[in-house]
A and B are shown apart, each in its own frame.
Chain A
Amino acid sequence: MSNLKKVLEIGKFAVTAECGPPKGADPESVLKKAKFLKNKVDAVNVTDNQTAIVRMSSLAACSLLKTGGFDPVLQMVVRDRNRIALQSDILGASALGIRNVLCLSGDHQIFGNQPQAMGVFDLDSIQFVQAVKAMRDNGTILGGDALNMPPDIFIGAAANPFADPLEFRAVRLSKKIMAGADFIQTQCIYNLKRFETWINMARDRGLTEKAFILGGVTPLKSPGMAKYMKNKVAGMDVPDGVIKRMDGVPRDKQREEGIRICVETIERLKETPGGKGGHIMAIEWEEVVGEIVERAGLLPRPV
């Protein structure tokens, strides 16, 4: 059974972290990165060719992590596979003992290193969630054919509280949950006010009772990174106050400041009604995750 699910269902504040697969075939590098996360988090998200850059497949990296004693969250984007491949990979993942999947649209192929690729987008992320749910709960694939063994999967979806239009974000979240999402991981939170507006809207619709919402955080390394995220990364909202804060400390203290912002955000999340966990995306900085979790008072992990 999914460890993440277990933690959430016993009502503990869950912690997940992201681990990007390597740009190569080296299995050791996956485990080396993940080593920093051992006993620090409940589950490890493995990104799926994030920003449309070719990397080791998420499924393979998840399998390596599973063998290494982790509870992987298989991220799957609909950009690269049609409904045949998506459903087949869900069965494969379950067979390999992978118990969590995060269903995503994926960054557009134009952003990556294969801009000439055909974007598939046969299903959208909501239809994908729905398909996985039907596979698990009804034992059927799209079109109704029966499976001889349904997959055992805890279903996740993403939400971006900072994208527009705000009023419609709760509707979309509700569609994802209606489709079958058991848990939601959000885009990185820097604008807490907006996040809280969004989660209040979700609560008003009763959504925080229907799915576990994990707020995303990414520790900043520098003011430059903050500006880059604000200006260059799709769907990211980094308020000027945060950039100022990073700018306001000497260079050698900037990483510490980034960690501090991150820890404060998690502490706020713990207090937010409907906030059921934190998702730490320390991009190429996995070694800091343990410290963040510790300083946020979330150690030891329950299971």
Chain B
Amino acid sequence: MITAEQKPIDEIREMIVPYKRILALGCGSCVAECAAGGEKETAMLASTLRMAGKMNGEDVDISEKTIDRQCVKEFVIQLDDVIDQYDAILSLGCGAGVQAIADMYPEVPVIPALNTEFIGETKDQGYWVESCIGCGDCMLYFFGGVCPLTRCSKQLLNGPCGGSMDGKCEVNPEVPCAWQLIIDRLTNFGALDRLEMIYPPKDWSKKQGAGPRKIIREDQQGSIS
């Protein structure tokens, strides 16, 4: 999932200063899963902002609403009927959600309430960790299901570096060395020979092309569900 964290409340308050009628808009997908921008968090943020507004004698009206996916047009369309009632949208979606809404409503200011962090997994309650940087050419097969681009601090495709000690990364003893994990996993299923070859330089054009990357699939067109 895409993970995110709420911005500091003061930063949010500064951004909404120019507006009176604001819709705090939650998203029911990834950011709900990581407890940053779901229905619950949206209600909490809205009430915090209302309270702060009241205490400072500000005339600000904060409504709230959560849609299933801010990043998919079909869901955003639900706002068509209400959008005129607001001066601005305070989005608790990820960066994609914020931009999808901005795209749909060119006249309406959309303010991000979250800092979008990474593609990651839920390790435990309240604990998320990055596991993929979306490189566009997945190499997990070669590395035993551990991504060195994401989890090795130096993105080595031919690791480990000279700083790997006792299974820890040189950068921080809290961080497991991704290359130790790769070697351990490949050893477990007898595939360590995958590391005898030299992996060539990564084709980063698959990650950062000219402009945003796109996926176009004709077989899917006209049938988004």
- Complex contact B155–A163 (CB within 8 A): no
For the complex, what is the distance from the CA of A163 to the CA of B160, rounded to whole Å?
Answer: 9
Q: Which residue from B155, B158, B162, B165 sits with its C-beta under 8 Å from A126? A: B158
- Complex contact A235–B170 (CB within 8 A): yes
Is A105 in the interface zone, CB < 8 Å from B?
A: yes
Contacts of B183 in A (CB 8 A): 165, 168
Q: How distant is A118 from chain B, measured CB to nearest CB, in Å?
A: 12
Is B153 in the interface zone, CB < 8 Å from A?
A: yes
- Complex contact A121–B163 (CB within 8 A): no
For the complex, what is the distance from the CA of A175 to the CA of B177, rounded to whole Å?
Answer: 19
Interface size on A, residues (CB 8 A): 34
Q: Which residue from B160, B165, B166, B201 sits with its C-beta under 8 Å from A168? A: B160
Contacts of A79 in B (CB 8 A): 154
Q: How distant is B159 from chain A, measured CB to nearest CB, in Å?
A: 7
Interface size on B, residues (CB 8 A): 29
Q: Which residue from B156, B164, B180 sits with its C-beta under 8 Å from A121? A: B156
Is B17 in the interface zone, CB < 8 Å from A?
A: no
For the complex, what is the distance from the CA of A64 to the CA of B126, rounded to whole Å?
Answer: 55
Is B198 in the interface zone, CB < 8 Å from A?
A: yes
Is B157 in the interface zone, CB < 8 Å from A?
A: yes
For the complex, what is the distance from the CA of A83 to the CA of B180, rounded to whole Å?
Answer: 26
* Number of CB contacts from chain A to chain B under 8 A: 93
Q: Using known A-B contacts A122-B201, A179-B198, determine if residue A235 contacts B154 with beta carbons closer than 8 Å.
A: no
- Complex contact B162–A235 (CB within 8 A): yes
- Complex contact B154–A127 (CB within 8 A): no
- Complex contact A164–B167 (CB within 8 A): yes
Contacts of A108 in B (CB 8 A): 153-154, 163, 170-171
Q: Which residue from A105, A165, A175, A187 sits with its C-beta under 8 Å from B154? A: A105
For the complex, what is the distance from the CA of A83 to the CA of B200, rounded to whole Å?
Answer: 12
Is B195 in the interface zone, CB < 8 Å from A?
A: yes
Is A178 in the interface zone, CB < 8 Å from B?
A: yes
Please name 12 pairs of A and B residues whose Cβ atoms are closer than 8 Å in the assembled complex, sorted by A: A105-B156, A107-B163, A108-B153, A122-B201, A124-B157, A159-B162, A160-B161, A163-B163, A168-B160, A178-B198, A234-B163, A235-B163
- The chain A residues found within 8 Å of chain B, CB to CB, are 79, 83, 105-108, 110-111, 119, 121-127, 130-131, 142, 158-160, 163-165, 168, 171-172, 175, 178-179, 187, 234-235
